Amino acid sequence: CRPRELGSQKGRKGRQMDSRGTDRHRSSTHRSGAAAMGGEVRTMGRIRFTLAEVVKMEEVLNNLKAMPKRPVIQGLTDDFNASPDRSGDDKVPVQYNQVHTWFQNRRYKQKRRGKRPPARGKKMLPTGAEAQHPASYRVQSSSPSNSESQSGNTSSDGGLVQLEAKSPRNGAWYDVAAIQSCRFSETGEQEVQVWFSGFGAEEEEWINVCKSVRLRSLPCIATECVGVLPGDLILCYQEGKEQALYFDAHILQVERRTHDIRGCRCSFLVRYDHDHSEEIVPLRKVCRRPCADVKIDIVIDDSLAE
Ligand SMILES: [Zn+2]
């Protein structure tokens, strides 16, 4: 884990990006920058709702017992965007459609659970609230410096573990809303059936735990930009013509600029792992990997079943 010496590099203004990199990628940066500033309306691949937001939406759903009407969803969207978590230059605002989709999925999930007979053999997991109960699993840590295991559904002790999973379909990473069931492949590797956050049940996929499930990447706040260094593996928001998704990428170069009231103004030259394309992105598209080297081992916890 890299020590975060905030301030040590704060005043650094070195232009580390060479002209080749800068020129070659200028156009793509400008395009994506303009799209973001003009109020990106394209549906994002996924949205990272905060714990507070999910709790709020759960509350609304529990009170209404029905799909909220448009003004309610719009009100929630506005509330979320007014909070410090969403307002600011490097923050990602939430869109009406994303809140709407969350409610749709949540309703669908509730209905489906109601119809389903109780699972035998404790394989089936409850599909409860995403944030209060992100999934009924425990994550066993294999990191020597961090030997305690953390529960995926215990928020009271601060051990809230959130996961992301890589879809075999397109190689993009999505937040895990719930783990539906667990099995072992013919080669003895653990696989889990993952419910992706913001998607319907028909989008569930079986995912190899060892290769494609990990602790969730973390959006960077402005002061964390000094910790993003060349060579780092990051999760990066790639905006294509059709869709915008999160992919693994490596930082090639960083051009530091003095932060101002709008936050981080640095630029990051990244290379995506899946298509080897390069792009200059702002900090708000960069999610850093948690420092702890944790091997994910999903343990179905029966005590969390209801
Ligand atoms: Zn910065």
Give tens-digit pLDDT for 167-183: 988 899 999 888 888 88
**CA of residue 287 to ligand 1 center, whole Å:** 13
Write the burial class of residue 274 (CB in 10 Å: 0-12 exposed, 13-18 middle, 19+ buried): middle
**CA of residue 91 to ligand 1 center, whole Å:** 13
* Region 181-210 average pLDDT: 86
Q: Which CATH number fits domain 1-39+217-289: 3.40.50.2300, 2.30.30.140, 1.10.1670.10, 1.20.1260.10?
A: 2.30.30.140
**CA of residue 71 to ligand 1 center, whole Å:** 37
Distance CA 38, CA 18 (A): 29
- Between 109-113, 149-153, 199-203, 278-282, the lowest mean confidence (pLDDT) is in 149-153
Choose among 50, 59, 95: nearest CA to 77.
Answer: 95
**pLDDT per residue as tens digits for the range 76-104:** 999 988 887 787 766 778 888 888 877 87
> What angle do the packed helices 70-82 and 51-64 form, to 10 degrees?
160
Distance CA 199, CA 134 (A): 14
Q: Reading across the β-sheet that carries 286-288, which strands appear in turn? A: 218-219, 286-288, 233-239, 244-255, 267-272, 278-281
User: Which residue's structure tokens are 């992919």?
Assistant: 247
For 121-216+292-304, CATH gives 2.40.50.40
User: Which residue's structure tokens are 């404790």?
Assistant: 122
* Region 205-223 average pLDDT: 91
Question: What is the structure's pLDDT at 281?
Answer: 96
Most confident option among 22-26, 40-44, 213-217: 213-217
* Region 203-231 average pLDDT: 91
Choose among 45, 220, 58: nearest CA to 134.
Answer: 58
Domain residue limits, the chain = 1-39+217-289, 41-116, 121-216+292-304
Q: Which residues surround ligand 1, an ion (CB under 5 A)?
A: 225, 264, 266
* For residue 148, pLDDT beyond 90: no
CB neighbours of residue 63 within 10 Å: 9
Half-sphere exposure of 192 (CA within 13 A, CB side): 29
Question: What is the structure's pLDDT at 205?
Answer: 86
Classify residue 287 by its DSSP letter.
Answer: E
For 41-116, CATH gives 1.10.10.60
**CA of residue 11 to ligand 1 center, whole Å:** 10
Question: What is the structure's pLDDT at 74?
Answer: 93
